[in-house]
Amino acid sequence: MQILLKDIAKLVDGKIVGDSDISISSLAKIDDAKPGELTFLYLPAYEKFFTNTKASAILVKPEFKKSRNDITYIEVNEPDKAFSSLIIHYFSPSFYLSGIDNSAFVDSSAEIGADVALGKNVVVSAGCKIGSNSKIFHNTVLLENVEIGNDALVFQNVSIREDCKLGNRVIVHPGAVIGSDGFGYKQDKKGVYLKIPQIGNVIIEDDVEIGANVTIDRAAIGSTIIKKGVKIDNLVQIAHNVIIDENSVMSAQVGISGSTKIGKNCILAGQVGIVGHVEIADGTVLTAQSGVSKSIKKTGFYFGSPAKELKTAKLIEAHSRNLPDYYKKITNLEEEVKRLKEALNKKS
Amino acid sequence: MQILLKDIAKLVDGKIVGDSDISISSLAKIDDAKPGELTFLYLPAYEKFFTNTKASAILVKPEFKKSRNDITYIEVNEPDKAFSSLIIHYFSPSFYLSGIDNSAFVDSSAEIGADVALGKNVVVSAGCKIGSNSKIFHNTVLLENVEIGNDALVFQNVSIREDCKLGNRVIVHPGAVIGSDGFGYKQDKKGVYLKIPQIGNVIIEDDVEIGANVTIDRAAIGSTIIKKGVKIDNLVQIAHNVIIDENSVMSAQVGISGSTKIGKNCILAGQVGIVGHVEIADGTVLTAQSGVSKSIKKTGFYFGSPAKELKTAKLIEAHSRNLPDYYKKITNLEEEVKRLKEALNKKS
Amino acid sequence: MQILLKDIAKLVDGKIVGDSDISISSLAKIDDAKPGELTFLYLPAYEKFFTNTKASAILVKPEFKKSRNDITYIEVNEPDKAFSSLIIHYFSPSFYLSGIDNSAFVDSSAEIGADVALGKNVVVSAGCKIGSNSKIFHNTVLLENVEIGNDALVFQNVSIREDCKLGNRVIVHPGAVIGSDGFGYKQDKKGVYLKIPQIGNVIIEDDVEIGANVTIDRAAIGSTIIKKGVKIDNLVQIAHNVIIDENSVMSAQVGISGSTKIGKNCILAGQVGIVGHVEIADGTVLTAQSGVSKSIKKTGFYFGSPAKELKTAKLIEAHSRNLPDYYKKITNLEEEVKRLKEALNKKS
């Protein structure tokens, strides 16, 4: 594929500086790019690669110092977003799967929409419904009454347990488990735990993406709900009866305990943990490894375990680093005060 | 199904206040309940839903203020436990799997008990033994000489490696891996790691439940042992040669390093980490995200990374929050002492 | 198998103290060993088991006090490493898999080397290449154009997505996912996240070992790279475009964010988290649960969240534990100063 730089500039609403007649064949990172490729520069930390990049063209901010003449610049306000737009427009992958493989099992009571693709050894149990144009890759298992919308993409080795519902355009990465039992027990007088059957389900709305080896437990009763547009990274744990509101995102290895409600447009960075039965306000940002033990009612940035407002956490952290110094100051003061007392006593 | 309220009251040893002649068809959470359903109220945070719940009946504590006349109350001391009892009694799910599917592979040397169900594409390798009435779901793989007891439930896409032993009534959720190699290497002089074969196994005793995508490594030599009644939540990591004693529970994303011993009746909250070669006393409670770097010999509550007794950790946390204030006090004191010294010098 | 103690002593370059004519049949931990077995003693914490061990022979350091006459000692400088050598030499397991199972699918365009073993229901898609003598266990799926070198061992239920490349002698444990999409989105003005296609791949070099249920994301563009000799424990998350240099090891549940570079010979202990776009110097050791928010340029030991040099972190931790005491000192000082001021005023 050869793409004219003019077409690219038009797509990203950018201004070409340099040779506008060239075309590019591919996109690459600035430190990997080869002749004929387009790259971008956004983070200052990557400017060191500019001198030697072999890219033929580069997306930069208008104010970037254009010290090389052998490369064509495209000026845009947000080079990273422009680059993403190009990937989306020109390089969106299509996943090769079509038809229903002979080795797939589809129960006679299942309803399969038009143009659905089922890979090898896929299991579609009784009562399942799969919307049109959805693709389910090899060795994925749907237990009874699972519903999946249109245009969904479910990769290989995924487990979806009975009665769970997934919306349109949902993407589920390999190894994810949806609808496993919540962690619910009743302890008897001898300390033995008796299992409480988890009789709810999981509802995943449209445009949700679920990472590899994620686990989302079914509700004890009712539904665990992941609302429209939520994006969940790998190895995240969502416990029973959690509700995650629209367009919230959570990075890898986040854990959310039972019955907690996450608001809209929240950002949970990697390895964040949240206790059960709390509510997190819309738009809250939890920085990496934060541990939340109470509801967060005020939108803002939070950090620490237990989590505090980021500003407070940073102030405490800065003071903590000074603790050895403060200890010296206290010891000095004690000596000074002792000397002052002695001096005063002598005067008496 | 219609269940008489009288029968429910009898089962949970409760006292009916209101119309005792009604029957209910289902159970629901207080904020989801519809007419004809029974709900419960336990945590004060949920009392706000009482005014508008559409439930026909509700389990409450005897002291609860019964301000509505259009709902029937059942008074019990522990409404949450009573509710669980009802789920267990009336709504325990049965999992639909029976017979040995044609697509399952069973080695001729394997011993399969009565009424065992094997799902599609299940692999049962040479020397395996499966007790009566156990169910193994689709695409699960047992390597050589795996033994599983009676009445076990192993969900789909589970991997159990050679020589591992599972007891009676064990439940294994989708994607769990039992018997993967422990993380053991010997470093040579150039810094290259040579793999130490992990020649032990995993022993899982009766009534253990293992969450989705959990990983339990086989012993380097000997056995990794999960004792009777232990409950393990999703995405937990158990390293080689760990021993977990009876009736301990661990929440999601806990990690336990090699050769560590966890006592009986311990509770490990989410994302707790424990180093290798330590022992944790019976009945220890580790609160969420705690990091344990030494043996815990005294039963109690612990928190923090590194973990401290919870009382100590809370005290330190409270003082930490005051650090900016303490810094001001120290600065003030320094100024005061300076002034005092000057005043005293002037008097000389 | 009976192994002469003389042969063992020769292999580990050790000196026999006691009966050198015996032979042993197996290896065992000191607290598990039975007559006829060889054990070892290395960590002081395990010396308590020496009195009662039933082992016939034991690897010990030369200086160990040999208080029993009914056991044969082999003196070596590093008993743990000597024991590992014996496991490697005498007890390396062979994994039983040979031939290409009838239920495996191999696309006609795939290239399969000599003596490759493919288990049941394995899927090898178009364009894949598998080197000689590699074994791929049951229900593992390779999407298009995956390449695997010689002598590789890929266990069951593994997912490898399109275009990923694995080297020679790579080991992949059950449930691992290689090549899942990186977590990359572009947010529109309404806060809705649009997926950025992840069009790169994953390159895994020779002698890498990947734990159970690990997730390694494909690059947004270019490659996520795991270099020669890296060892990755269970449930680790490696994000898109991460580069891990040779012979680094990371324990369970570590998470590394996008585009971060880990140097050579680093050690990342359990549950460590590292933000994106940073670099970690060769030889860095991150202790358990550390959270790294900036590049680490100086080799050393680090701890804490945010991570600090271990020495600094320990000092701050020690002072933190004294905070209640420091508070008392400050309060005392305030009272003392107040009294001094009053005393001084009286004198005026």
pLDDT of residue C215: 98
| Calpha distance B285→B28 (Å, rounded) | 31
| Calpha distance C92→B95 (Å, rounded) | 40
Beta-carbon separation of B252 and A215 below 8 A: yes
Query: Is C138 within 8 Å of C156 (Cβ atoms)?
Result: yes
Indicate the DSSP class of residue C296: B
**Cβ neighbours of A171 (radius 10 Å):** 19
Distance from CA of C260 to the nearest CA of A (A): 12
Average pLDDT value for chain A: 96
- Cβ neighbours for A319, distance < 8 A, ≥ 6 positions apart: A326, B323, B324, B326, B327
Tokens at C32, concatenated: 């598990």
Which of C231, C317, C341 lies at the smallest CB-CB distance from B306? C317
Q: By CA distance, what is B236's nearest residue in C?
A: C235
| Calpha distance A54→A34 (Å, rounded) | 5
| Catalytic site includes residue B319 | no
Instruction: Tell me the mean pLDDT in the region C48-52.
Output: 94
Instruction: Tell me the mean pLDDT in the region C225-254.
Output: 98
Backbone angles phi, psi at C3, to 5 degrees: -115, 125
- Residue C120 CA from chain centroid, whole number: 29
Spell out a b/e string for C201-232, using b for 16 or more CB atoms within 10 Å of the CB, else e.
bbbbbbbbbbbbbbbbbbbbbbbbbbbbbbbb
The closest alpha carbon to C329, from A345, A335, A318, belongs to A335
Backbone angles phi, psi at B293, to 5 degrees: -110, -5
Which pLDDT tens digit goes with each residue over A283-305? 999 999 999 999 999 999 999 99
Q: Which residues are B163's β-sheet partners? A: none
Which of C139, C234, C270 lies at the smallest CB-CB distance from B180? C234
Which of C125, C183, C277 lies at the smallest CB-CB distance from A233? C183
| Calpha distance B177→B182 (Å, rounded) | 12
Residue with tokens 């971008």: A40
The confidence band for A348, taking pLDDT boundaries of 50, 70 and 90, is low
Which pLDDT tens digit goes with each residue over A244-276? 999 999 999 999 999 999 999 999 999 999 999
Contacts of A327 in chain C (CB under 8 A): 319, 322, 326
- Residue B159 CA from chain centroid, whole number: 20
Of all helices (H) and strands (E), which one includes residue A74?
strand A72-75
Tokens at A285, concatenated: 């940002």
Give the rounded percent of residues in chain B with a pLDDT score beyond 90: 93
Which pLDDT tens digit goes with each residue over B271-285? 999 999 999 999 999
| Calpha distance B123→B244 (Å, rounded) | 29
The closest alpha carbon to A179, from A231, A219, A124, belongs to A219
- Cβ neighbours for A135, distance < 8 A, ≥ 6 positions apart: A95, A97, A116, A117, A119, A152, A153, A154
Instruction: Tell me the mean pLDDT in the region A225-252.
Output: 98
Distance from CA of C264 to the nearest CA of B (A): 10
Distance from CA of B108 to the nearest CA of C (A): 15
Give the rounded percent of residues in chain C with a pLDDT score beyond 70: 100
Which pLDDT tens digit goes with each residue over C127-172? 999 999 999 999 999 999 999 999 999 999 999 999 999 999 999 9
Q: Which of B89, B138, B173, B240 is catalytic?
A: B240
Query: Is C173 within 8 Å of C215 (Cβ atoms)?
Result: no
Which pLDDT tens digit goes with each residue over A49-85? 999 999 999 999 999 999 999 999 999 999 999 999 9
pLDDT of residue B348: 63
Contacts of A144 in chain B (CB under 8 A): 96
Contacts of A340 in chain C (CB under 8 A): 340
Beta-carbon separation of C96 and B126 below 8 A: yes
Which pLDDT tens digit goes with each residue over A208-217? 999 999 999 9
Tokens at A317, concatenated: 């952290």
Terminal C-alpha separation, chain A = 97
pLDDT of residue B149: 98
pLDDT of residue B92: 87
Which of C91, C235, C333 lies at the smallest CB-CB distance from B199? C91
pLDDT of residue B245: 98
Give the rounded percent of residues in chain A with a pLDDT score beyond 70: 100
User: How many CB pairs below 8 A link A and B?
Assistant: 193
Of all helices (H) and strands (E), which one includes residue B37?
strand B37-40
| Calpha distance B278→B273 (Å, rounded) | 12
Of all helices (H) and strands (E), which one includes residue A171?
strand A171-172
Q: Is the dihedral of CA C194, C200, C204, C205 positive or negative?
A: negative
Terminal C-alpha separation, chain B = 97
